[in-house]
Structure 1
Amino acid sequence: MRNHQRKEYPMNTVKKTLHLANTRGKADHGWLKTNLTFSFAGYYDPSRVHFGALRVLNDDYIAGGKGFGMHPHDNMEIITIPTSGVVAHRDNFGNEGVITVGEVQVMSAGTGVYHSEFNHLRDQALTLFQIWLFPNAENVKPRYDQKSFDLAGRQNRFQLLVSPSDDQSDDALWIHQYAYFSMGNFDPGQEFSYQIKRPGNGLYVFVVKGEVETTGEKLATRDGLGLENIDQVDFKTTDGVELLLMEVPML
């Protein structure tokens, strides 16, 4: 069985944190099945609490019509990316609606928010990534936003989904953190690179599906790799791959 590991390197060289798919924490509540990259709820691993500002990366399956009733959050930036099905959202600030594949939802919990999220469909499962980041400012006014992205815009290139509140020169959603989220779908036999947008940030590479080679590692579906002390990350595909990149401050 492959295991997760943290590789330490001398100063000014790349540091890697490898989280292979089959080493993630798991929870099975029947209607909810989830894989947990970082410690969450009943799963705790002291070596896997966060990667810089990236605190939670949950890979959820939610049965038809099921979900989470009203519950609180505060001082966390929350990003939801559905991969199949439809999310129904409601919160105590009057925001209510659905989020479908191709859309991304952001929520700044700030001083406190109550919200619910359910599978909007009774006859189809919902799968999604829920991601939490530590914010760069506490006790901000809670806010909610969502946006639809053209899936064709991430074919053989990275499409920016989320960026910091002080860097809104693009069409991405913004959050209270110096973080950038991007997704891309790459054909077999591609070589491509990602440039770090903010000096000192690390990059967490998550393989949604497929296989890719980067920084001497071969990654497959649902593997994750954290990289520090980097300016550019180079990738190579043999088969096709879908990637979620999370560039975050290392705190």
Structure 2
Amino acid sequence: MIEIIRSSEHYHNEEDWLSTYWHFSFAHYQNPDKMNFGPLRVFNDDIIQPETGFDLHPHRDMEIVTYVIDGELEHRDNQGNHGIIQPGEIQSMTAGSGILQSEYNHSKEKLLRLLQMCIFANKRGLDPSWEQRRFDRAARLNRLLPVIVPENIKNGQALHIHQDAAIYVSSLTPGSRVEHKLAKDRKANVFVIEGKVKLNDNNSIETRDATKVENENRLSIQADGRPAELILLDLLEKYAVNNN
């Protein structure tokens, strides 16, 4: 089953410094029908004006993944971490027992667009941690590039999180196709960052559309007529949190 959520169906909040699309209930937007998808709790698509951003704010017991699409994101936290995240870079942060972070568009003129995803950690009270890595477009060209994998998976390139979830990014040229197998008891979330694609040959989605994929054993994704950028999350159908 493939459920399509059109861009117009996402909650959209517009402020003088921020334009944001929220896929799930978050902050002041409360919707009991949109609480999570498996362990995926937050999926936000943000455009931040120059010289503005989010002041220090708390997180806890979440694996937070940030993917910068355009512009540059400056990160600071109360653990002493500081970094500039550029387009194509992934940041992975374990909030664990508690962390305060700020996110800022330090450019004087360029907009910043980023995706931020919060995934429930598989254990509470972990030590907070932070890392980032750059992935060139060539590495994701016409393939699904794993950028986030579970902590027990050996992958020298991808970043790791404390949950049985994986995230892939892809840049497709017109007409190109990628395939992804879904194991039993797995589901997927596919989001089109830019462009237009067909899922399993008959489901057409385009910029800012998302899909919830369940009870499918494979996904075929083809760029439809023009280049496309997308992100795919492979998730547990059911998950548990270890309180010990």
Q: TM-score, normalized by length of structure 1? A: 0.90
Displacement of 1:168 in angstroms is: 2.5
Residue of structure 2 aligned with 1:250, choices 198, 215, 237: 237
CA contact (8 A) 1:26 1:43 kept: no
Residue of structure 2 aligned with 1:65, choices 39, 51, 75: 51
Percent identity of equivalent pairs: 35
CA contact (8 A) 1:60 1:129 kept: yes
Equivalent residue letter for 1:230: E
1:155-170 matched pairs, under 5 angstroms: 155-170=141-156
Matched, 1:195 2:181: yes
Give the ranges of 4+ consecutive aligned residues of structure 1 lying more than 6 Å apart after TM superposition: none
Give, in whole Å, the separation in 1 of the partners of 2:138 and 2:94: 28
Give, in whole Å, the separation in 2 of the partners of 1:84 and 1:137: 33
Q: TM-score, normalized by length of structure 2? A: 0.92
Give, in whole Å, the separation in 2 of the partners of 1:106 and 1:189: 32
Give, in whole Å, the separation in 1 of the partners of 2:218 and 2:73: 34
1:1-251 matched pairs, under 5 angstroms: 15-196=1-182, 199-215=184-200, 216-239=202-225, 240-251=227-238
CA contact (8 A) 1:181 1:245 kept: yes
Give, in whole Å, the separation in 2 of the partners of 1:136 and 1:79: 15
Equivalent residue letter for 1:242: E
- Point out where structure 2 has 5 or more consecutive residues left out of the alignment: 239-244
- In structure 2, the residue corresponding to 1:153 is in which secondary structure? helix
Q: Deviations over 1:64-83 (max 9, x none)?
A: 11011111110011011111
Displacement of 1:189 in angstroms is: 1.8
Residue 12 of structure 1: aligned partner? none
**For the structure 1 residues 125 and 230, does the alpha-carbon distance in structure 2 shift closer, same or farther, using more than 3 Å as the test?**
same
Q: Deviations over 1:125-174 (max 9, x none)?
A: 11100111111111111110100112111111111110000102341000
- Point out where structure 1 has 5 or more consecutive residues left out of the alignment: 1-14
Residue 4 of structure 1: aligned partner? none
Equivalent residue letter for 1:116: S
- In structure 2, the residue corresponding to 1:138 is in which secondary structure? coil
Displacement of 1:225 in angstroms is: 0.5
Equivalent residue letter for 2:80: G
- Counting matched residue pairs gives 236
Give, in whole Å, the separation in 2 of the partners of 1:188 and 1:97: 34
CA contact (8 A) 1:76 1:110 kept: yes
Deviates more, 1:33-42 or 1:234-243: 234-243
**For the structure 1 residues 238 and 28, does the alpha-carbon distance in structure 2 shift closer, same or farther, using more than 3 Å as the test?**
closer
Give, in whole Å, the separation in 2 of the partners of 1:155 and 1:169: 19
Q: What root-mean-square deviation, in Å, do the aligned CA atoms of Structure 1 and Structure 2 show? A: 1.3
Displacement of 1:38 in angstroms is: 1.1
